[in-house]
Amino acid sequence: MENLKFDVTGMSCQGCVASVTRVLKAVPGVTDVNVTLTPGSASVVYDATRTTEAAVKAAVQDAGYGVA
């Protein structure tokens, strides 16, 4: 299992946090997600045999949020 932490931009409320959490949990291989509004970050645990760091970040971007 791999741990990934990255900044998420464009979140302004708890609804945004819920949306980012939902799209991350939908990525195959993701087993744990923690998204925080302040400071705007996501921590993800994923199975590297089922997905990639790029795919995890792309899911956030596809939902309309930025990844720093």
**Strands 66-67 and 30-36: what pairing?**
unpaired
Checking if the pLDDT of 26 tops 90, the result is yes
Q: What is the pTM of this model?
A: 0.93
Q: Which domains does the chain have, with CATH numbers?
A: 2-67 (3.30.70.100)
Checking if the pLDDT of 7 tops 90, the result is yes
Q: Are 4 and 46 in contact, with CB atoms under 8 Å apart? A: yes
Checking if the pLDDT of 29 tops 90, the result is yes
> In sequence order, what are the residues at sequence separation of 6 or more whose Cβ sits closer than 8 angstroms to the Cβ of residue 20?
8, 11, 35, 42, 60, 63, 65
Three-class DSSP category at 48: coil
